[in-house]
């Protein structure tokens, strides 16, 4: 019996050795994760900008995006609400502005942007649409939300499931500027505030819905909250890696507002995409759950006499909608690039100096995202692109 047992054991060892991979063979690569290409569509674009849902189809953006974020719903008293009901679902859309060429009538059950988003989703069934809440001017109500996360989450769930548009939104995006830090207003909800709000949303919406959040680009603000705990609750965190510098922020010297990497003479150390991404990874955010943003606009100064970054200026350059800010689609023709620095472009035209990303610099940023195995990239915001979608095309590369 012992001889037979020993012989059997020897046979098992031989067979195991034959079936085991050679020590020199390469290990199987991890399965690739689906990369996200997201873009923000602003509710107010339907007014002065005349940028409508139809433009997403005409530019080709709808066919390239994996996710569309509708900005913004409001957060008032710790509860989710519609930002602008007229633009969102009440405003009749003329035939010329409609995706399918059919005008809204008094009998159309859902008009405005929401009605057009339904049509867009029908034409692009793979596109996921999220409703984003907050933003720079709409984040004051998050402090109250952090005091009653469950109540906040229920209000958001009920709003997204409203019978008038139930099924339109695949999830929710939180753009809190900023938890436990200062933006337009200051919050002191504590390091766990963002994670608690996101956990409540995950519980309310369930595991199959999308729950995402925007986080600061400023590395100092990133340290104010537990981002590892926040990341555990979401599909992704999107770092707002733009507006590091700008004349509107009272910077008196020119500097690119969204550099990928540092460069000699940068006014503030750590004010780069690379530094923000590195900080988030070091704080425990998984690379597969991390996105960073690309601005489809430029920041500009006037009273500038030198094309080299770091020149003195007298103030912000004039912009169509805001001083010191202009869409890429305008700048590309009016003030084309004269140089690059830190992986982004800049331009001097007369006394004006602008910094912005171009298709070439965007492709460099996409390559960087791939080199760090990040979850993807996103655009803020889509109306700044050219009518034929040059930037979103580069971003999808």
Q: Residue 263 contacts by C-beta under 8 Å, 6 or more apart in sequence?
A: 309, 341, 342
How far is 166 from 209, CA to CA, in rounded Å? 13
Task: Pull the structure tokens for residue 392.
Answer: 């979103």
Residue 72 main-chain phi, psi, to 5 deg: -135, 150
Which of the 8 DSSP states describes residue 289? G
DSSP string, 16-79: HHHHSPPTTSPPPPPPPPPPEEEEEEEGGGGSTT---HHHHHHTSHHHH-SEEEEEEEEEETTE
Q: Look up 177 and say whether it is catalytic.
A: yes
Q: Please name which of 137, 136, 132, 147 lies closest in space to residue 80, comparing C-alpha atoms.
A: 132
Per-residue HEC secondary structure of 219-255 comes to: HHHHCCCCHHHHHCCCCEEEECCCCCCCHHHCCCECC
Active-site residue, selected from the candidate residues 43, 177, 274, 326:
177
Distance CA 93, CA 144 (A): 36
Tell me how far apart the alpha carbons of residues 317 and 302 are, in angstroms, rounded to a whole number.
Answer: 5
CA–CA gap between residue 326 and residue 388 (Å, rounded): 18
In 3D, which of 130, 95, 87, 89 has the Cα closest to residue 110?
Answer: 89
Q: What are phi and psi of 361, to 5 degrees?
A: -70, -30
Which residues participate in catalysis according to the annotation? Answer: 177
């Amino acid at each position: 019996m012992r001889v037979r047992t020993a012989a059997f054991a020897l046979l098992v060892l031989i067979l195991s050795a034959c079936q085991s991979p050679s020590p020199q063979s390469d290990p199987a690569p991890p399965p690739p994760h689906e990369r996200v290409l997201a873009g923000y569509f602003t509710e107010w674009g339907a007014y002065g900008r005349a940028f409508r849902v139809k433009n997403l189809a005409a530019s080709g953006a709808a066919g390239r995006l994996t996710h569309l974020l509708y900005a913004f719903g409001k957060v008032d008293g710790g509860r989710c609400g519609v930002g602008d009901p007229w633009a969102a679902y009440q405003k009749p859309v003329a035939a010329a502005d409609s995706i399918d060429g059919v005008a809204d009538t008094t009998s159309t059950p859902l008009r405005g942007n929401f009605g057009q988003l339904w049509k867009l989703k029908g034409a692009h069934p793979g596109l996921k649409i999220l409703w984003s809440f907050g933003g720079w001017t709409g984040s004051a109500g998050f402090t109250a939300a952090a005091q009653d996360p469950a109540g906040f989450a229920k209000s958001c769930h009920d709003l997204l499931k409203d019978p008038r548009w139930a099924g339109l939104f695949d999830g929710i995006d939180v753009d809190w500027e900023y938890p436990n830090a200062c933006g337009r207003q200051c919050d002191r909800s504590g390091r766990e505030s963002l994670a608690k709000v996101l956990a409540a949303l995950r519980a309310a919406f369930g595991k199959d819905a999308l729950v995402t959040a925007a986080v600061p680009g400023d590395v100092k603000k990133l340290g104010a909250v537990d981002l590892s705990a926040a990341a555990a609750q979401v599909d992704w965190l999107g770092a707002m890696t733009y507006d590091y510098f700008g004349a509107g922020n009272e910077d008196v010297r020119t500097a690119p507002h969204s550099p990928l990497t540092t460069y000699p003479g940068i006014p503030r150390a750590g004010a780069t995409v690379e530094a923000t991404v590195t900080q988030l990874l070091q704080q425990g955010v998984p690379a597969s759950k991390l996105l960073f943003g690309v601005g489809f606009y430029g920041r500009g100064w006037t009273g500038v006499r030198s094309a080299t970054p770091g020149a003195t200026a007298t103030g912000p350059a004039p912009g169509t909608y805001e001083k010191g800010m202009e869409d890429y689609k305008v700048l590309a023709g009016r003030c084309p690039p004269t140089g690059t620095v830190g992986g982004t472009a800049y331009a001097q035209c007369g006394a004006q100096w602008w910094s912005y990303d171009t298709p070439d610099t965007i492709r460099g940023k996409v390559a960087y995202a791939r080199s760090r195995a990040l979850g993807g990239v996103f655009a803020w915001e889509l109306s700044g692109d050219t009518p034929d979608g040059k930037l979103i095309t580069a971003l999808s590369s």
